[in-house]
Amino acid sequence: MKARPLQVATRGSALARAQADRVIQLLGVPAEALVVTTQGDRDQSVPIREIAGTGAFATEVQEAVRSGRADLAVHSAKDLPARPADGLVIGAFPERADPRDALVGCSLFALPSGGTVATGSVRRRCQLANLRPDLTFAELRGNVPTRVDKARDFDAVVVAVAALDRLGLRAHAAEVLEPSTMLPQVGQGALAVECRFDDDALIAHLATIDDPDVRAPLEAERAFLAELGSGCDLPVGALARRLPDGSVTITALLASADGRIVLRATGQGVDPVTVGRTAADDLIHREGGAGLLADIGIGQ
C-alpha cells in the first residue's frame, strides 16, 4: 500500500461523506476524503429523471481517480452507469444497507385522494401511480435532509431507507415500502468502490472489504440494466439477493412512465450476469416490454 494517506474521491453531501468515511473505516489504512463537485450537484434545476443513469453524480468523481488526483472513489452504487468506466474497476462492493424506499410525511394508503407526493424519480412515480392512480406528483431535488424537511410542503416525499439510516433519520419514515410494493433502483443501498484498473496493490486491498453476498446481487442487477440499455428512459428497477446455496435470485421491473403498465420478471441461477441478462430478456420478449421500448425509440 502507499505510504501517504489514500485519497478517497467522494461527492460533498452529508450522505456521500458518511459513505466515504465508512469505507475509510473499513479499509483500515490512512486515508482522507477528497471532495469533488459533480454535474448533478452543480445543476439543481434539472429534474432527476432527465439525468438518471447518465453518470451525472459519478463522472467527475471517477475522473479524479483516472487522473491520479485520487486513489479510489466511493459511490452510491445506484449512481454508477451499468457499463464499466474506462480505465477503472469496481474493486469492492463492501456492504449494502436496506435497499427499500420509504414515504416521509404519510403512509401510502393514508394519503388523501388526489394527494401530492414529491419525488424526482420516474421509477418511484410509476409504481405509486400504478397503486394509487389518484395521486399527483411534484418534482423534488436536494440532499436527503432537505428532502425530509420538504415533506411538510407536500402530503409525502419518497426517500431511500439506506439514506435515512446512514444519516440517523430513520424515525422520519412514515412507511417503509416492501419490494413487492415498490421495487428499488438497481444498486440502491449499496456502496461501490472504484480504483484504477492497473493499481494492483489497491485492488488486492479492496478485495479484503468486498462482500460476495453484495457483489453477486449487484452484478445481476447491473447486468439487467446493461442489457436493457443503461440510459433507458423508462422506469426500471431490480432487486437481487444471494441464496445460501450460492445462487442468485432477482426480481426486475420495466414500466411505462405513467404507471399504467408495470411488468415484472423473476429469475434464479448460479451466474449473476446471466441471471440479470435473462431477466431483461424475459421482460422484453415474454412480458411485453418490447412494445414499451419501441414507444421511446429503443429497438431490441
Joined grid coordinates for residue 153:
410542503
| Structural fold of domain 101-177 | D-Maltodextrin-Binding Protein; domain 2 (3.40.190)
Q: Which of 122-136, 246-260, 280-294 has the lowest mean pLDDT?
A: 280-294
Please give the average per-residue pLDDT across 284-296, as a whole number.
84
pLDDT over 90 percentage in the chain: 80
Question: Looking at the annotation, which residues are catalytic?
Answer: 79
**Side chain identity, residue 281:** D
Q: What angle do CA 152, 154, 156 make, to 5 degrees?
A: 90
Ranges 47-51, 139-143, 246-250, most confident:
246-250
Check residue 55 and give its pLDDT.
61
pLDDT at 299 > cutoff 70: no
| Structural fold of domain 221-295 | Double Stranded RNA Binding Domain (3.30.160)
- Phi/psi at 76 (5° precision): -70, 125
Going across the sheet that includes 88-92, the strands are: 31-35, 6-10, 72-76, 191-196, 88-92
pLDDT at 262 > cutoff 70: yes
Are the CB atoms for 100 and 124 separated by under 8 Å? no
pLDDT over 70 percentage in the chain: 90
Pick the CATH number of 6-95+190-210 from 2.60.40.10, 3.30.70.100, 3.40.50.12500, 3.40.190.10: 3.40.190.10
Check residue 231 and give its pLDDT.
56
Query: What are the residue ranges of CATH 3.30.160.40 in the chain?
Result: 221-295
